[in-house]
Structure 1
Amino acid sequence: MVFVDVVRESAAAGRVVLWEESARDGAQAKTLMTPGFRVRLARETGRVFGADGPRHAVFAAGFPAVCGEEFEAVRRVATEAEGAVSVAAVCRGARRDLEQAVASVRGSRHARVMVVVPASDAMAHVMVHRTAPEALADGVDLVKRARDLDEEVAVDVCLADASRAGHLLMAHYAQAMTGAGAGLIVLADTVGGQLPHDCREMFGRVRAEAGDEVVLASHLHNDLGLGLANTLEALAAGVRVVSASWLGIAERAGMVATEQLLFLLARHTADVLGADATPWWTPPDLTRLPVIARTVAARRVSR
């Protein structure tokens, strides 16, 4: 069977893909969801796009290396939400973490892992006690390792603190990681302080220097209230995979709200994406969004 990365394929075709973070980044906002609730939320997220759920929604199910219970939670989402969304496990840039992440989603259709690699010297010093170029070079090796572990699991790389990293450096390693088999290269404003014009320049410059084979994605936090504005700038720069979270829940001040972004794109498609844009294989069913948002809100209250 030939492996097809439906998310990368969708983005390359100009379709919008949501990387849903409420179950993973939301856990860092003290809103830990039970395995059963994650399965339910993943399925409901996929139903927004019908049969094209896996091509329009990546559901970050969790961080398997945290503990055995978290591994089993991610495994349950990968098993029970298969076919509704593309299920992703997230891990640090360490071999053991990577192996656990791949194992947690192995065998699920359209499964992915996202490896977090520091892109700035400041973040590299904190995360791995190395320089940014050294950490990024290790990231290339991790992509190769992931593809060796299971060629049916797509591997993406999140460049942490990209907003404070060198554009040419990121473009160089984005090329190398893509050449090694990465599906997406995610540029993250990890500290949530990037201004919109700087965000647009970052995505535009990295995209231009890295070339057409590299598919970029965004992960933009909202510490200074800039998450939505920056996500719109990423889309204007040609990015088609964007992170979001139901109700905006994520660590610290969160990130752009999934329901808000979908309503905005429906209302201002041409303004944001261009007059000739065809952003959906199946347009989102916006009538489902209030129900999902209320469900997540109730879950937060019940905790």
Structure 2
Amino acid sequence: MSGSFFRTSHSGAKPQYIEVIDCTLRDGEQTPGVWFTLEEKLQLAQLLSNAGVDILDAGFPASSAADREALQEMRKLSLKARIGATARPLPRDVAAAAEAKADEVFLFMPTSDLRLKETLNITRDRANAIFRAGAEDVIARGMGLNLVFEDATRADPDQMIRLVNELRPIVPISRLFIADTVGCATPFTMKQLIQTLDDAFDGEISLAMHAHNDFGLAGANTLAGIEGGARAISCTVNGIGERAGNADLAECAAGMTHLLGVQHRIDGKALVELSRLVEKLSGIHTSPTKPVTGFNVYRHESGVHVDGMLKDPRSYEFLSAAWVGRQSEYVLGKHSGTSLIRRLMAEAGIPCELETAQRLLDEVKQDSERRDKAEHRRAFERKEAFGLLSLSGIDPATILARHKASLRKATG
């Protein structure tokens, strides 16, 4: 089953290795209301590197002195992962990335007609000239060049191909990121787009995926991009990011391993710790049913499911709990069956016939249905209050009032 729908590359064999670029420290931190301290960024960078991430998209140095400092401090950690900086194709942005001592630059520029016309109000020729100048600046400063085509899934592929072909003879391109910036692609259209670009470049450009999750398809689109020929992906821990977030690191790593059968360096056993840490530092709690790292993913209550699991864990866990360093767990509750009762009694060394197990099960179900839901409501209220407090950001009116007060003080 693994890799059964995988597209072959130009060499006749599927890619043997997929690079993983994590952008929790940059795109993840752009989540409204989220910020990381210097110490937190260094802690996350170390754990991400230890987990097998190839490159960190570690910040946007031109937009923040704190990001420049964070990248500089990361250099002192001797990470296995390369350190990257995001930049616009502007001299001050590229200079800031160099000052931050970045190994790689993720040079981004809108590519769709809508973004060029309505947001930047420039012609495509002018945009291409700016992009070219920025790319040459990156290479001149000795950093790796990653072209990021923002809004690529709403752009004309022929225009993107033309620009890359203009740049290829001039600058060495490490990777070309296809960004589904507004999350509007489907797995089918994403795979087609990557195939089109890969064919146009004869497989000589390393295509990379950057998917957003506005329709809940970021992970699926990322895997579809790999099937289309992409050789690198970008993700965030817990899928945090702007609006609905990005492709989730754990989900993509699990999909690459167990569905596509491609190699990467991510250690599945490091993913739960990373997920919990990002929950803590970001203030964004994940759902118990979040794939791969969620609290309930390897817990079972339904009698039919538990009976199957006790006979063979593969019955209801295609993704093994052991892959992330966890164990399957069984919960006694309203939907339990006698199989779990008898197993628990046997483990306790107590003989238990079916009739006894049924009586015990009836008691369990009655207890479950009599439980007070007040704690559920209190937990919801705590979450609501915490969410509003931690993710609301700073009230603009407060900033304006402070600004006016400062002006009045300065002018006497």
In structure 1, what is the Cα distance between the partners aligned to 2:224 and 2:255?
14
The structure-2 alpha-carbon separation of the partners of 1:233 and 1:121, relative to structure 1 and needing over 3 Å to count, comes to same
Alpha carbons of 1:61 and 1:126: their partners in 2 closer, same or farther (altered >3 Å)?
farther
Query: Equivalent residue for 2:92?
Result: 96
Number of the residue aligned with 2:78: 82
Count of aligned positions: 270
Q: How does 1:35-184 map to 2 (within 5 A)?
A: 35-49=38-52, 56-77=53-74, 79-106=75-102, 111-148=103-140, 150-151=141-142, 153-179=143-169, 180-184=171-175
Bigger shift: 132-141 or 231-240? 132-141
Question: What is the TM-score when the length of structure 1 is the normalising length?
Answer: 0.83
Show the counterpart of 2:19: 17
Letter in structure 2 aligned against 1:60: D
Deviation at 1:127, TM superposition (A): 4.5
Q: Closer, same or farther in 2 for the Cα pair 1:19/1:284, shift >3 Å?
A: closer
2:220 to 222, 229, 242: 229
Contact 2:38 2:66 in 1 (8 A): no
What is the Cα deviation at residue 75 of structure 1?
A: 2.2
Unaligned runs of 5+ in 2: 1-13, 285-389, 391-412
| Aligned residues of 2:51 and 2:270 also touching (Cα < 8 A) | yes
**Structure 1 residues 265-299: Cα deviation after superposition (integer angstroms, max 9, x where no partner):** 222233xx5xxxxx24xx53211111111111111
Q: Report if aligned partners of 2:90, 2:130 keep a CA contact under 8 Å in 1.
A: no
How do 1:276-295 and structure 2 match up within 5 A? Answer: 279-280=263-264, 283-295=265-277
Residue 229 of structure 2 aligns to a residue in which SS? coil
CA-based RMSD: 2.0
Identify if the C-alpha distance between structure 1 residues 43 and 201 changes in structure 2 by more than 3 Å, giving closer, same or farther.
same
Report which stretch shifted further, 243-252 or 35-44.
35-44
Using CA pairs under 8 Å that are at least 6 residues apart, name the structure with larger relative contact order, 1 or 2.
1
- The letter of the residue matching 1:289 is L
Identity of aligned residues (%): 23
Larger Rg: 2
Which amino acid in 2 is paired with 1:199? M
Show structure 1 runs of 5+ residues with no match: 1-11, 50-55, 274-278
Give the 5 Å matches for 1:235-254. 235-254=226-245
Cross-structure match for 2:379: none
